[in-house]
Amino acid sequence: MSLTGLDGVLLAGAVFGLAVAMLLPVLATLVPSPPAALRHAAPRALAAGSCVLAAVVGMRALAGATPPPLAWWPGFPGQPFTLGPDALSAPFVMLFGAVGAASFAAHAPIGSERGASARLALHAGFALAMLAAFTARHVLLFLVAWEAMTLLSAALVAHDTRSSRGRGAAYVYLAISHAGAACIALALFTLSAQAGSFQFEALAATYARLPAAEAARLAWWFTAGFSVKLALLPLHVWLPMAHPEAPAPVSAMLSGVMVKAGLYGLLRFAWQMPGAPPAHWGTVLVLAGIASMIAGALYAAVEADAKRLLAYSTLKNAGVLALAVGLAALLAEAGQRDIAGVALAAALYHAVGHGFAKALAFLSVGEAVHAGGSRHLDHLGGLANRMPRTSIAALVSTLALCGLPALSCFAGEWLVFQSLILGYSAGAGQLRLVAPFAGAALALASALAVAALVKLYGIAFLGRPRTAEAAAAHDAPRVVGLTLLSFTALPVLWGLAAPVMALTLAAPLGALLPDFDAARLAGEAGFTLLPARVDGSSIAPAAVALLVALFALLALAWLRGARGQRRVLRRAPSWTCGAATDTRAQYTALGLTKPLRLIFEPVLRSTRELDVLEEGSPYFARRLRYRSAVPAVFERWLYQPFVQAVVWTSEQARRLQTGSLHLYLAYLLATLVGLLLWGR
Amino acid sequence: MHAGAIVLQTVLLVALAPLWNGVVARIKARLQMRRGSPVLQRYRDLLKLAGKETVLSEHASPLARVTPYLMLGAAVTLCTWTPVLTTRPGLAFAGDLVMTVALLAAMRVLLALLALEAGTTFGGMSASRHLALSALAEPALMMAIFTLALNAHSTDLARIAAAVEAAPAAWISPSHLLALTAVWIVVVSETGRVPVDNPVTHLELTMIHEGMTLDVSGHHLALLEWAGAVRQLVLLTLVANLFLPWGIADTLEPAALGLALLAWLGKLLLFAVVVALTESLTAKMRLFRVPEFLGMAFLLALIALTSDTLTRG
């Protein structure tokens, strides 16, 4: 392996660090009595450090430092395996590094010692595979990394050996992911056979030269494959099952980073390599994006499981990403490359911004869930006063995911709105038809997501504890708490400095739209974010935050003046119009969004059962059982018939296998005759 | 724009916000053949609240102590770029239509969280209703203004006002009127007025906005009430100046500004009369009729948007 320059050393350090971190816990089990630090603390610190190196590599690549890739001869004929970030992968590598570092730092050992080291080893291996998937420049290496990413994360999804839910989720996840991986592999192998090379550069050159129909077919195979990872409707069913089952630090990487690997794949193989996406690609992505956005937000709003709620929110944001990329493709197709650049900037900005916020949300909610002993929101409550460090992180991530201005998820959606309006004004083809509905859908999805996230923070962290476990909850360990608090800076910074951050995306934008001038995204010395046109509208998140703070302080000063030195603030039991209340009188997670469940009843088809267990008097029952569920519509109507068909076919096929040798010989003879006839 | 003009419009909105509520209450009282409280009563209430002892629930988190300040801060921030007297942009570089909707949403999030702080039934109930209704109201508001924004080719509020003002023929176009109806429904819902909510009710089972502040008192309550009033006035001003921009000034000359001030106050008075009449003549809806009402706003806005698309091709 040749090390070229600082970036080469950093990248090699990250790769080897993660590899050693993966192997250390495994090797430690071979030694009779290993030092305790070797099993967890040392590999964890090493992995976190390696991720920081990866983040630095990503940031340097964003700044334009793209070193010659690391080459490695594995004894495979042909070309060396090559690893190296380029302009397009740079934001993803940076996101991976930042989220990975926080995720390892927050990966405190839980449960049995063996289990903890196994989880850490898998976690490090998963991170290594993901880094390799983002930086691979060689087809086989990419496919190996992609597959390892899926397999290792599936093992982590099924890590709780006592949970049948985890196993089921891992099974569904593997099945759908492999269908996707098969599409990707098919397209990649076809392409490398055409190119006669495994290197991405050669692939891109061949791809761009292919006849349009052939290139479009390949692009659609890629799109199908990567849409699975991006979890677009209706390929999303694995996401809300699998993401919540993994340990929280791994969920953070799954939702924060791995979903974006789907976006990376789409951009790399269906856009950058052929030079432009195929026809109708934009329309399909826009429609899938709108559907995912609304479904994700709606299911998140009626979900009562803290981690599943976050997973559904990821689905909503994946929809926003698909919408932005689809818009960009539609606009580029119509020749509006300036506005297409705005939409692409929205996709890349939001990919990173959502990654930061969602990782922080999973990490902090994971701590809360661990402390409260349950993932169900109705078993938590009152954690804000018991877990101050965790709750600050949870609050910031919740507010960011709500799309509050000045936090990391707002500017991306703002850019989507800008590209909608400008694209509509420019009269760009199908966009005149799509833009109004896309805008309405985005507004509806955002409003529903607000309800979901207010429920998450409001029920789990505010109010009174609903169970004894929640009442006895303690804050996360110091290292984890400090990790959470320091990671809070990222979504805040990414949001406040949105114009500057959009400027840093110039390199990946240039890789996709060479003639787009990203410098026009920011005006007035990086203070305002513009939709690339001087006469348009602009926002300045930092200015808004400053104004809010300024006016809040003015209000404080006014009150100080009006009240003199008298500051009276008394703590007392909750008032509630004077009624005596107990903990169970609080609203539940189910109740808080019941109006929404009723309003969207025709879509959700939720079920409700009320049994009287014990009659008291004719009018008042003594004990009731209330059950309410939101059925999994896609599983039931789309996947179940398919699975049943497969099972039925295999049942039928079993009849062929009677166990009779004579019959098998007859099959052989029939096949031979058939082949002879066919080959004649 | 001149910094002085921005300060002026911010001060105007913040200072006049409680007055509008007083005027509505006064008109309602007259309609009911009562004398009613003086129009300045709201200011006295605010001052009284600000001087009182503040009681905080023992279950409340530190967030509850910050939220009232942030609410007022956000509401006043909205005033700096809302076009009030002129179509010359205020702090338009900082905020536009989407930022306005996002700040309104932010205030909603903070208020809903505040309602859940004390861990009581009423807080949860009103937060629940608030979230459900605003999930319908917010997209309707966004879309109604979006209709105008599409034609103005910009989300900048001042630009939208200028574009609408420049084409008075479009004011009676179906899409404009539909969008205006939609936005009015949203404003009624967002400000907690009849028929969606009753601002003077203290019957717990029917209330939405009042329920969220039940466990808030003293100076916190004063801040919240003032923030709510400012938010309400900003929404009304948006309706007045984006949908009916009659009389708005294009320059910063004193004469034009004076005329614009009169036009603005006149429109606000008109709104006050409309609201007072509605509140006197209609009853509050049953809660589960409200989604249909807001769903209607959503649909109207959607129709406005599509009819706009179709007619302009």
Residue numbers of the domain that contains B156: 3-312
- Which among B53, B120, B150 has the least Cβ separation from residue A421? B150
CB interface of B with A, residues 253-292, below 8 Å: 287-288, 291
State how beta strands A621-629 and A70-72 pair.
unpaired
Whose structure tokens read 């179509």?
Answer: B87
- Which among B73, B149, B302 has the least Cβ separation from residue A421? B149
Check residue A229 and give its pLDDT: 92
Provide the number of structural domains found in chain B: 1
In A, which residues are within 8 Å of B308 by CB distance? 436
Does the beta carbon of B294 lie under 8 angstroms from any beta carbon of chain A? Answer: no
Q: A69-73, A274-278, A393-397, A573-577: which range is least confident on average?
A: A69-73
pTM for this predicted structure = 0.93
Q: Is the pLDDT of residue A576 over 80?
A: no
Q: A248-252, A441-445, A546-550, B249-253: which range is least confident on average?
A: B249-253
In A, which residues are within 8 Å of B112 by CB distance? 454, 458
Q: How far is B117 from chain A (nearest CA, A)?
A: 5
Check residue A317 and give its pLDDT: 95
**A620, two tokens:** 């008042």
In A, which residues are within 8 Å of B127 by CB distance? 454, 458, 587, 592
Please report the number of interchain residue pairs, chain A to chain B, with beta-carbon separation below 8 angstroms: 287
Residue contact B291–A595, C-beta within 8 A: yes
CA distance B286 to A670: 74
CA distance B65 to B122: 20
Looking at per-residue pLDDT, the higher value among B116 and A73 belongs to: B116
In A, which residues are within 8 Å of B288 by CB distance? 595, 598
Q: Is the pLDDT of residue A2 over 50?
A: no
A337-372 vs A90-105: helix crossing angle, rounded to 10: 10
Looking at per-residue pLDDT, the higher value among B310 and B261 belongs to: B261
Nearest CA in chain B to A463: B119
- Which among B53, B109, B124 has the least Cβ separation from residue A404? B109
CA distance B99 to B136: 18
Alpha helices in chain B (DSSP H): 3-31, 41-51, 63-79, 97-117, 121-152, 157-166, 174-190, 209-212, 218-238, 254-281, 290-312
Count of C-beta atoms within a 10 Å radius of residue B27:
21
Report which DSSP code applies to B118. T
Residue-by-residue DSSP string for A189-218: HHHHHHHT--BHHHHHHHHHHS-HHHHHHH
Percent of chain B with pLDDT over 70: 96
Mean pLDDT of chain A: 88
Nearest CA in chain B to A398: B109
Q: What is the CA radius of gyration of chain B?
A: 19
- Which among A563, A570, A586 has the least Cβ separation from residue B50? A563
Does the beta carbon of B201 lie under 8 angstroms from any beta carbon of chain A? Answer: no
Q: How far is A622 from chain B (nearest CA, A)?
A: 21
Question: CA–CA distance from A552 to each of A344, A557, B13, B204 (Å)?
Answer: 36, 9, 16, 30
- Which among A461, A524, A592 has the least Cβ separation from residue B124? A592
Question: CA–CA distance from B262 to each of A229, B161, B240, B265, B305 (Å)?
Answer: 58, 17, 12, 5, 32
Does the beta carbon of B20 lie under 8 angstroms from any beta carbon of chain A? Answer: no
Residue contact B135–A450, C-beta within 8 A: yes
In A, which residues are within 8 Å of B81 by CB distance? none
pLDDT 10s digits, A314-349? 999 999 999 999 999 999 888 888 888 999 999 999
| Sign of the alpha-carbon torsion through B5, B11, B16, B18 | positive
pLDDT 10s digits, B154-211? 888 888 888 888 888 778 888 889 999 999 999 988 888 878 877 776 665 667 777 8
Tell me what the mean pLDDT of segment A375-380 comes to.
91
Q: How far is B214 from chain A (nearest CA, A)?
A: 7
Tell me what the mean pLDDT of segment A49-71 comes to.
86
Residue-by-residue DSSP string for B264-296: HHHHHHHHHHHHHHHHHHSPPPPGGGHHHHHHH
Helix (H, G, I), strand (E, B) or coil at A305: strand
In B, which residues are within 8 Å of A560 by CB distance? none
pLDDT 10s digits, A401-412? 999 998 999 999
How crowded is the C-beta side of A467, counted as CA atoms within 13 Å? 17
Check residue A575 and give its pLDDT: 81
Whose structure tokens read 């917010």?
Answer: B138
* Peptide bond before residue A109 is cis, with ω within 30 degrees of 0: no
Report which DSSP code applies to B167. -
Nearest-5° angle of CA A255, CA A449, CA B234?
A: 140
Q: Which of A522, A491, A497 is nearest to A342 (CA)?
A: A522
Percent of chain A with pLDDT over 70: 96
Residue contact A458–B156, C-beta within 8 A: no
Residues 6+ apart with CB under 8 A from A284: A223, A326
pLDDT 10s digits, A169-199? 999 999 999 999 999 999 999 999 988 888 8
Residue contact A544–B56, C-beta within 8 A: no
- The number of residues in chain B equals 313
In A, which residues are within 8 Å of B73 by CB distance? 547-552, 555
Residue contact A596–B132, C-beta within 8 A: yes
Residue contact B54–A598, C-beta within 8 A: no
Cα of first residue to Cα of last residue in chain A, in angstroms, is 53
Does the beta carbon of B143 lie under 8 angstroms from any beta carbon of chain A? Answer: yes
Check residue A31 and give its pLDDT: 78
Q: Which of A329, A534, A314, A348 is nearest to A434 (CA)?
A: A329
Count of C-beta atoms within a 10 Å radius of residue A75:
4
Check residue A37 and give its pLDDT: 77
Tell me what the mean pLDDT of segment B34-42 comes to.
90
Q: Is the pLDDT of residue A516 over 90?
A: no
Does the beta carbon of B56 lie under 8 angstroms from any beta carbon of chain A? Answer: yes
State how beta strands A522-523 and A528-529 pair.
antiparallel
Q: Is the pLDDT of residue A1 over 50?
A: no
In B, which residues are within 8 Å of A435 by CB distance? 150
Does the beta carbon of B311 lie under 8 angstroms from any beta carbon of chain A? Answer: no
Percent of chain A with pLDDT over 90: 46
Residues 6+ apart with CB under 8 A from A435: A420, A421, A423, A424, B150
Nearest-5° angle of CA A301, CA A305, CA A311?
A: 70
Residue contact A572–B159, C-beta within 8 A: no
Check residue A176 and give its pLDDT: 92
Alpha helices in A373-430 (DSSP H): 383-386, 388-401, 410-425
Q: A176-180, A424-428, A565-569, B210-214: which range is least confident on average?
A: A565-569
Check residue A659 and give its pLDDT: 79
Residue contact A599–B215, C-beta within 8 A: no
Check residue A611 and give its pLDDT: 85
Does the beta carbon of B205 lie under 8 angstroms from any beta carbon of chain A? Answer: no
Q: How far is B221 from chain A (nearest CA, A)?
A: 12
CA distance B244 to B253: 21
Q: How far is B259 from chain A (nearest CA, A)?
A: 27
ipTM of the complex: 0.94
Nearest CA in chain B to A471: B59
pLDDT band for position A563 (cuts 50, 70, 90):
low
Residue contact A575–B127, C-beta within 8 A: no
Check residue A429 and give its pLDDT: 67
Q: A119-123, A535-539, B117-121: which range is least confident on average?
A: A535-539
In A, which residues are within 8 Å of B62 by CB distance? 384, 388
Residue contact B132–A451, C-beta within 8 A: yes
pLDDT 10s digits, B220-265? 999 999 999 999 999 999 999 988 888 888 888 888 889 999 999 9
Check residue A279 and give its pLDDT: 84
- Which among A436, A559, A586 has the least Cβ separation from residue B120? A586
pLDDT 10s digits, B49-67? 888 888 898 899 999 999 9
Q: Is the pLDDT of residue A3 over 60?
A: no
Residue contact A552–B70, C-beta within 8 A: yes
Count of C-beta atoms within a 10 Å radius of residue A427:
12
Looking at per-residue pLDDT, the higher value among B171 and B129 belongs to: B129
- Which among B113, B124, B223 has the least Cβ separation from residue A586? B124
Does the beta carbon of B53 lie under 8 angstroms from any beta carbon of chain A? Answer: yes
- Which among A458, A537, A595 has the least Cβ separation from residue B154? A537
Q: Is the pLDDT of residue A656 over 70?
A: yes
Residue contact B106–A585, C-beta within 8 A: no
